[in-house]
Chains A and B, each alone.
Chain A
Amino acid sequence: MRYSGFRVIAEALTGHKGWKPAWRDPEPQSSYDYIIVGGGGHGLATAYYLAKEFKQARIAVLEKGYLGGGNVGRNTTIIRSNYLLDGNEPFYEFSLKLWEGLEQDFNYNAMVSQRGIINLYHTDAQRDAYTRRGNAMILHGADAELLNRDQVRAMYPFLNFDNARFPIKGALMQRRGGTVRHDAVAWGYARGADMRGVDLIQNCEVTGIRTGGGRVTGVDTTRGFIGAKKVGVAVAGSSSKVMSHVNMRLPMESHVLQAFVSEGLKPLIDGVMTYGAGHFYVSQSDKGGLVFGGDIDGYNSYAQRGNMPVVEDVAEGGMSLMPLIGRARLLRSWGGIMDMSMDGSPIIDKTDIDGLYFNGGWCYGGFKATPASGWCFAHLMTTDQPHPTATAYRFDRFRKGLMIDEKGQGAQPNLH
């Protein structure tokens, strides 16, 4: 069923009796050509592009819980391509271009809103760094603008411009950045994949990966063994758990990242904003809640909930940036589990086992990467060659000294 404005009107006139479930709930078959482990944003996008762009068939997505119940359902919905390094920027710009055409492509309203993102700077050194970053973005075909203090003041007059220690001097702006309705991304990809014959199998946890003769032969699941010619693992957050089935140790730790939403407020922030003097980023949802977050808690965790010190730290960041939120009440907070990699960048690569592919290590930047991650992973799984924008995301970059370390923190995952 195609969704359209006409369809909505027709259904409204006939009592909404014609809507059908957006995807099937099939029983797993005994074998597939492609199995994607993980029914989150990246896994569903991979299946969608495998079927649509790479014309593959006999594909299944295995999800241990329900579709989109992991990090794609618990992020802060921001899309942008404001990276500095050559290994990253072309990939994220590819992703942003896919976002721009996504809703037409998969015929689903994902509420892609290019409302602009600004990164505030507070010192001359930060301004210089953002100038360099902006130039790097422009050289890779993205858009970037350096705003001065007056331009930022015209947009957000309520910010704490004259803080004695961290006065706001201006911002780096990417107008094409913005927000997307995160759950709808999972649902849109799920529906698009299902329409093209992909089996989306929920409540099906992978408990083992079988190999024979150096090749992957299938996966053991809570719903029995399922054979496969190729298996792609896209389970960021639980990557180490799943890859331990083939005794692979990964260059990453799992950490918890918290996010928050305030009670609904009148329109206040029409774009996305990041604070340059503390780790705090904020946007406003269409329902009026301020959606914001900050640092990870900083210790290994699979708990999907964090502790109070980070709540306090994020709230302090928010208060020092925009004191007017002091009376707003916090409505909800939640936590998600991140693959924090050793250089802060992801991995989309083959493994030593033929037919076993890996996608993970997204740190806390995975949501914006969803379309390109799916596309590049599908490209890798069909051609055995990395997509041109994802050639740097290899396992062996640590061995070869080719780290993609945007923050320059070294092999310390909780600092990225």
Chain B
Amino acid sequence: MIINHPLLGPRDAQEFTYLGDAALMDRPDGMAFPSAEAAQDAFHDYLYLRDNPAGEHRELWFHEQGDRSWLVVTRNTVTHEITKVEFARDVARRRGRSK
């Protein structure tokens, strides 16, 4: 697979390490829950449960042997076709993180 890096252009997927579903960017805020149990539930779901779709999947790749940036790659898990590559930081900022 070739990942079309937003800055560096097409790079072999071997240069990257794979983390998993891009939903892992949205770690729950442990202090924002009414009870410890609710926080525990949210963290359980965040850490252990996955959508694991057959088809389009947004996922986190780390350019470990490159510029060490985190990318959000939209890839089809049935065909391995990559349709979109973005910097994870851009995705996060668009959603209002780090303000």
- Tell me if B20 and A249 are in contact (CB < 8 A): no
Query: Given A307-B13, A399-B44, do A413 and B20 touch, yes or no (CB 8 Å)?
Result: yes
Binds A, one of B25-33, B75-83, B88-96: B75-83
User: Could you mark each residue 274-315 of chain A with 1 if its beta carbon is under 8 Å from any beta carbon of chain B, else 0?
Assistant: 000000000000000000000000111111000101000000
B residues in contact with A301, CB < 8 Å: 77, 80
A residues in contact with B51, CB < 8 Å: 240, 249
How far, in whole Å, are A307 and B3 apart by their CA atoms in the complex?
A: 13
B8 within 8 Å of A (CB atoms): no
A residues in contact with B18, CB < 8 Å: 298-299, 414
- Tell me if B48 and A411 are in contact (CB < 8 A): yes
- Tell me if A307 and B44 are in contact (CB < 8 A): no
Interface residues of A in 245-287 (CB under 8 A from B): 249-254
B residues in contact with A342, CB < 8 Å: 47-48
User: Could you mark each residue 43-58 of chain B with 1 if its beta carbon is under 8 Å from any beta carbon of chain A, else 0?
Assistant: 0110111111110010
- Tell me if B52 and A253 are in contact (CB < 8 A): yes
- Tell me if A300 and B77 are in contact (CB < 8 A): yes
A residues in contact with B78, CB < 8 Å: 302-303
- Tell me if B80 and A250 are in contact (CB < 8 A): no
Of listed B40, B50, B52, residue having the most chain A CB within 10 A: B52
B14 within 8 Å of A (CB atoms): yes
A334 within 8 Å of B (CB atoms): no
How many chain B residues sit at the interface, stated as a range, is 20 to 34
Query: Given A240-B52, A251-B49, A252-B50, do A300 and B44 touch, yes or no (CB 8 Å)?
Result: no
Interface residues of B in 62-87 (CB under 8 A from A): 75, 77-80
How far, in whole Å, are A336 and B86 apart by their CA atoms in the complex?
A: 29
How far, in whole Å, are A413 and B48 apart by their CA atoms in the complex?
A: 10
How far, in whole Å, are A398 and B19 apart by their CA atoms in the complex?
A: 19
How far, in whole Å, are A240 and B54 apart by their CA atoms in the complex?
A: 9
How far, in whole Å, are A297 and B53 apart by their CA atoms in the complex?
A: 17
A residues in contact with B1, CB < 8 Å: 307
A140 within 8 Å of B (CB atoms): no
User: Could you mark each residue 388-416 of chain A with 1 if its beta carbon is under 8 Å from any beta carbon of chain B, else 0?
Assistant: 00000000001100000000000111100
A241 within 8 Å of B (CB atoms): yes
B61: nearest residue on chain A (CB-CB)? A299
- Tell me if B48 and A309 are in contact (CB < 8 A): no
A337 to chain B, nearest CB (A): 9
A residues in contact with B13, CB < 8 Å: 299, 307, 309
- Tell me if A309 and B77 are in contact (CB < 8 A): no
> Residues on B close to A: CB < 8 A?
1, 12-14, 17-21, 40, 44-45, 47-54, 57, 59, 75, 77-80
Can you offer 21 A-B residue contacts whose CB atoms are under 8 A?
A238-B54, A240-B50, A240-B51, A249-B50, A249-B52, A251-B50, A254-B54, A298-B17, A299-B13, A300-B59, A300-B77, A301-B77, A302-B78, A303-B78, A303-B79, A303-B80, A307-B13, A309-B13, A399-B40, A413-B20, A414-B18
Which 7 A-B pairs rank lowest in CB-CB distance, beginning with the nearest? A240-B52, A249-B49, A302-B54, A251-B48, A398-B48, A299-B18, A309-B14
